[in-house]
Amino acid sequence: MDEKKEQRLASYKRIEAAILMAQADIDQLKDVSLWMKNVPCWLNDAEKEINALSNGVEQKQPMIDLIKTARKTHHNNEPMLTMRFIKEIQENWGNAMHDKEIPVRLNMIKGRKKSGKTRKEQLEEQGNNTKDEVLKIYQSITPTRSTASLIARKLHITSTRVRQILKDEKKNKNDVR
């Protein structure tokens, strides 16, 4: 799971790097051919992130069209035009980001789901309901080694949490005796 998060973060950083490169003027670049060689990779990353934006198609479409055009100019080996389109993509990207539209992937990196709440906040919201549900399911089935993961899947919580609830309940029963 952490590896995926790191890959997503790396992908986002590559886009940021592409944007910074696009801000530099082409004649200030020492090696235009090296810059051109990296363009397709940046455009692919930018397209992935733009598709992951949570806002609607009408805001994404202009950026996707610009990426297609930038690909064509890159294919025709026109660095000045490619640079211009990348700058336009960067401006549109900036506008999308200023509209408080952060890509869904970045939300996940920060430990947030689409609801906008962290897992911890969601668990606190659920409170003791989870405990009651776990115990109810546990009593209705024959316990096996995979019982905790089965209950966890049913309630969309971690099996570690289920095991902890069952362990606490067992301890409470033993304390009463």
For residue 142, what pLDDT is reported? 64
Q: Which of 82, 109, 136 is the last residue of a domain?
A: 109
Q: Specify whether 151 is located in the same domain as 133.
A: yes
- How far apart, in whole angstroms, are the C-alpha atoms of residue 74 and residue 71? 5
| CA distance linking residue 131 with residue 90, whole number of Å | 48
* 36 and 98 both lie in a single domain: yes
Q: What is the rounded CA–CA span in Å between residue 79 and residue 37? A: 11
Per-residue pLDDT, 59: 67
> Domain count of the chain?
2
pLDDT tens digits, the chain, 177 residues: what are they? 577 777 767 766 666 666 655 555 555 555 667 667 777 777 777 777 777 766 666 667 777 888 888 888 888 888 777 777 777 777 776 665 544 433 333 343 444 445 556 656 666 665 556 677 777 777 666 666 667 777 777 777 777 888 888 888 888 877 765
Note the residue count of the chain. Answer: 177
Q: What are phi and psi of 101, to 5 degrees?
A: -100, 95
Residue type, 104: V
Residue 36: the pLDDT is 74
- State whether 26 and 105 are in the same domain: yes
Which of 43, 125, 130, 127 minimizes the C-alpha distance to 89? Answer: 43
Q: In terms of residue numbers, what domain contains 78?
A: 2-109
Per DSSP, the chain holds a count of helices (H) and strands (E) of 9, 0
At 32 the pLDDT is: 67
